[in-house]
């Protein structure tokens, strides 16, 4: 098992249009540095995959940690440096919000959803990727997805919106 011993931490919040899955991590770095890990292709390549610009608001990212390393087209809905990045892709509506507190930055990943369908798979996936972000920044061994799924599936499947 990965030294981080992944424990699921996400929560659901009811919204006007459905629910939001929220997962946070605290990183010992400035908000600008964490922002670079979320937006610079050479740094996203370390934990998610590299990306390339297609047009002003469209990119495609290579999912190098997924089977077959597929490309994913994404539309950038908001890029408010260094505090908020929002993208949509093939039915996925994602947002990352960064809040700085001294020498630490809290990253909140939010997936806006209409309902909780697939949450048992989605939650563990985002836990994995956020831990990949931390491991890549700290020079740690990258986590193994098998440590997240299916062990976190029941936790996420049983969440109720608050």
Q: Give the model confidence (pLDDT) of 34-65 as tens digits.
A: 999 999 999 999 999 999 999 999 999 999 99
pLDDT-derived band at 19 (thresholds 50, 70, 90) equals very high
Among candidate residues 30, 34, 31, the one with its CA nearest the CA of residue 43: 34
- Cβ distance 129 to 48 under 8 Å? yes
Q: Model confidence over 132-148: pLDDT tens digits?
A: 999 999 999 999 999 99
Among candidate residues 42, 22, 48, 5, the one with its CA nearest the CA of residue 106: 22
Please give the structure tokens belonging to residue 44: 């996203």
Residue 36 has what pLDDT? 98
Residue 38 backbone dihedrals phi, psi, to 5 degrees: -95, -15
Asked if the model's pLDDT at residue 102 lies above 50, the reply is yes
DSSP 107-156: EEEEEEESS-TTHHHHHHHHHHHHHHHHHHHHTPPPP-GGGTTTTTHHHH
Average pLDDT, the chain: 95
- Cβ distance 18 to 32 under 8 Å? no
Query: Which sign does the torsion angle of CA 146, 75, 136, 105 carry?
Result: negative
pLDDT-derived band at 3 (thresholds 50, 70, 90) equals very low
Query: Which sign does the torsion angle of CA 146, 133, 21, 100 carry?
Result: positive
pLDDT-derived band at 161 (thresholds 50, 70, 90) equals confident
Give the mean pLDDT of 86-113.
Answer: 97
Phi-psi group of 28: left, alpha or beta (phi > 0 → left; psi -120 to 50 → alpha; rest → beta): beta
Residue 5 has what pLDDT? 57
Q: What percent of the chain has pLDDT over 90?
A: 94
Give the chain's length: 162
């Amino acid at each position: 098992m990965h030294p981080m011993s992944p424990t699921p931490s996400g929560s659901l919040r009811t919204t006007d249009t459905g629910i939001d899955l929220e997962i946070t991590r605290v990183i010992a770095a400035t908000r600008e540095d964490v922002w670079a890990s979320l937006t610079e292709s050479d740094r996203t390549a370390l934990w998610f995959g590299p990306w390339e610009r297609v047009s002003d608001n469209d990119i495609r990212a290579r999912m190098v940690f997924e089977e077959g390393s597929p490309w994913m087209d994404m539309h950038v809905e908001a890029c408010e440096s260094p505090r908020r990045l929002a993208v949509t892709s093939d039915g996925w509506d994602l947002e990352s919000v960064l809040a700085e507190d001294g020498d630490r930055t809290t990253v909140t990943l939010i997936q806006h959803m209409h309902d909780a369908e697939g949450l048992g798979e989605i939650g563990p996936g985002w836990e994995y990727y956020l831990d990949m972000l931390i491991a890549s920044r700290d020079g740690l061994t990258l986590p193994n997805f098998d440590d997240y799924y299916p062990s976190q599936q029941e936790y996420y499947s049983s969440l109720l919106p608050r």
